[in-house]
Amino acid sequence: MVTDLILDDFLQRINDTPTSPIELKVTQSSLQDTTDWQMHFNRMSACEMYDEYKFVINQLMFADIDDVKRFALFEEVNKAVSVLIGKLRVNYQTQPGILDEEKQQGLDTVLSVHYLSIMFYHVIWQRAAARPEVADKKGITGLFRRKPQSLTPTQVIQHCLYGIMVLLRQSLFEKYIGYRKDTQVIWQYLNACFRFAVTNHWQSITLPVKLHSANEYGKQGAPLSIKDIYFHCLMVAVTNPYACRRADILAIQKVSTQLIKELIISKDLVEKPYLYIDLEGKQPPQLLAVDDLFNPFAAISNCLFVMFSQLFKRLHQTITQGQISTDTEIKNSARQAKLILNNLQDGLKPAAEYYHSHSKCEVVLGFNNIHYMLANKTSLGNLIQSNELPERLKPKAQNTEYLKKYTVVALNKENPQSMCLSYVFSYHNQFVDQYPSISRGDSYHPLSQLQVNSLIAMRKVNGSKTWQLGYIKDNRQGFIDTPAGQPTNKTYLEIESQVQVHCQNAIPCGVRFQNAGSRQPHFVAAFIIPTAPNNAASQPRLLMARFGYQVADKLVIRIDNKEINVRLTELLNMTDDIEEYAFVRIQF
């Protein structure tokens, strides 16, 4: 696999790579043309496809052919490999939570394919840069100077620059989908390529390159300019994909091409806060901190400032439209706009202060798992003494062996509002399964449901036995060195999650509708969150798995064999997993 380190090392080799006088070959010498080869390629396993692609791309870099033909063959090869990329992408883009071993390997393979293509363009670029541009000759001899279909060195470099920008963007987006935080190499070359384009006044160049996903984000099918590709990367980065669910990351990557024109990106700062991108650096947009040693305002700095007043206005308008419209598409756009707005506003706040911790935490994910653990490992049926209830009101049977799943993670730092947890995950370096499939069953892991906005229960090992409830606000992963004593044929990822602490002392209970009608009549798991002891104005709340409750619904809360009647008064919070309501007790 081509890693970020390998790519970085390759791209720093600035030299003329001579063209080798070799004949293009494929592994099957009997194949007659690219169509035959594509059919042969499609019958391969994922591992064989990758190896064949690497073999062919290496030849295309050095074959003694005209660059017009070279680019055409490269596009034909990429048309075939897009089948592999498409299968792998849909495999990991549709999995919620942490990617399992197979999906991590798939993501690595897609990135490696993109990196091989970037290396191809880099070699051709360096070769073209070493050829002097011949001035046009006068007279009839000028007609025979070159073939009508040949490209000048400048055109070759423009083609390579544009292709590299497209591939760097796609690599960045794939990393965001996998919550990978190691994006420095990609940003280093995105910034360098855009700086090169600005120097040569090539920002407006658009080319119809036929690369996988190249036109997925185009405007009405038209390719984006170099400037728009770069601004698209900035737009997605500032929305903080690490604080989004995977489906929302994909949606924001697509919708953000419509929003980039609302960003104000300038060398001159016209509004606060100070969010800048250093075109000579290797970081995504940064918020200027008080103790920053770097000065983006210096005359010698090469920085752009990113400003949001116009974008905020557009997002507020979209949210307002969603509140008054009944159209599903408009409401969905409003939900995305609200997510983007919240993430932007959070990203423009100064970083929170934490104190470091070196303790361990037990964590539980999944609403029913959390309910079971907080009920002192008691099933819902036993908690509410369901043996005394008529059959139609009894909760569904639970497999308690499945619910006894928790894991121990490291607590790195915390403050009263949030905790930062980490866990090391490993997977084999190469495909174990040569035929990845979305239908393959994966062994259950306690952290399988770890995803943004999910409910999580935590308590410190050797600390208080009280469980805290929280929401996962941010999720990212980074490669680490092989820990001492661990196998070296594996890749090690450290998963880092920021958790917003929600409450302590949640009381497990069961709830049902007083008059269910067409809705489920039986008891389901829920939590009572008592009033805050230091806030007399706070209301008791009810936290339930997402089901479609409504304000004014009347419910029955049951613990042991005791019941109270309540009415939901206000929807306080709702995610894909849970609903939280204020409630009042009612008497009959």
Which of 168, 309, 331 is closest to 236 using CA atoms?
A: 168
Helix (H, G, I), strand (E, B) or coil at 528: strand
Contact (Cβ atoms closer than 8 angstroms) between residue 471 and residue 432: no
Check whether 443 has a pLDDT greater than 70: no
Highest mean pLDDT among 27-36, 144-153, 498-507: 498-507
Q: CA-CA distance, 356 to 174, in Å (whole number)?
A: 31
pLDDT of 5 higher than 90: yes
Q: What is the mean pLDDT of residues 414-421?
A: 92
The token pair that represents 78 in the structure block: 């990429």
**Domain map (residue ranges) of the chain:** 4-232, 355-434+445-504, 507-586
Higher pLDDT, 30 or 399: 399
Torsion over CA: 187, 193, 196, 202 (sign):
negative
In terms of Cβ atoms closer than 10 Å to its own Cβ (0-12, 13-18, 19+), residue 147 is exposed
Show the tokens assigned to 582: 């204020």
What is the Cα–Cα distance from 279 to 77, expressed in whole angstroms? Answer: 33
- Distance separating alpha carbons of residues 377 and 384, to the nearest angstrom: 13
Adjacent-strand bridge partners of 510:
525, 558
**Mean of per-residue pLDDT scores for the chain:** 86
* pLDDT value at 143 more than 70: no
Give me the pLDDT at residue 14, please.
Answer: 61
Residue 234 predicted with pLDDT over 90: yes
pLDDT at 149: 60
- What digits encode the pLDDT tens for the residues 309-340? 999 999 999 999 999 988 989 999 999 999 99
- Whether 558 has a pLDDT exceeding 70, the answer reads yes
> Looking at residues 49-70, what average pLDDT do you find?
87
Q: What is the pLDDT of residue 61?
A: 87
The domains spanning 355-434+445-504 and 507-586 adopt the same CATH topology: yes
Distance CA 544, CA 2 (A): 46
**pLDDT value of position 66:** 84
The percentage of residues in the chain with a pLDDT greater than 70, rounded to a whole number, is 88
Check whether 524 has a pLDDT greater than 80. yes
pLDDT of residue 20: 57
Domain 355-434+445-504 has CATH 2.60.40: no
Is the CB of residue 56 less than 8 Å from the CB of residue 49? no
Residue 141 has pLDDT above 50, yes or no: no
pLDDT of residue 442 exceeding 90, the answer is no
| DSSP letters spanning 17-49 | -PPB------S-TT--SHHHHHHHHHTS-HHHH
Q: Tell me the pLDDT tens digit for each residue of 238-279.
A: 999 999 999 999 999 999 988 998 988 888 877 788 899 999
| Confidence label for 21 from pLDDT (cuts 50, 70 and 90) | low
For 471-497, write each residue's pLDDT tens digit.
999 999 999 999 888 888 899 999 999
Helix (H, G, I), strand (E, B) or coil at 154: helix
Mean pLDDT within 353-380:
90
Using alpha carbons, select from 144, 131, 7, 136 the residue that is nearest to residue 67.
131
What tokens appear for 267 in the block?
Answer: 């060398």
308: which 2 tokens?
A: 């949001």
Domain 507-586, CATH among 2.40.10, 1.10.3470, 3.40.30, 3.30.70? 2.40.10
Give CB contacts under 8 A, 24+ apart, made by 338-344.
339/244, 339/248, 339/252, 340/239, 340/252, 340/259, 340/315, 341/312, 341/315, 341/316, 343/239, 343/240, 343/243, 343/244, 344/238, 344/239, 344/240, 344/308, 344/311, 344/312, 344/315
- Roughly what angle, to the nearest 10 degrees, separates helices 67-93 and 101-129? 160
What confidence category does residue 146 fall into, taking pLDDT thresholds of 50, 70 and 90? Answer: very low
Q: How confident is the model at residue 437 (pLDDT cuts 50, 70, 90)?
A: very low
H or E element at residue 65: none
Least confidently predicted of 23-27, 61-65, 70-74, 560-564: 23-27
Q: Does the pLDDT at position 144 exceed 50?
A: no
Q: What's the pLDDT band for 352 if we cut at 50, 70, 90?
A: confident
Section 413-436 average pLDDT: 79
pLDDT of residue 132: 67
121 pLDDT band, cuts 50/70/90, is very high
Q: Please say whether the beta carbons of 555 and 568 come within 8 A.
A: yes
Please tell me the predicted confidence (pLDDT) of residue 536: 62
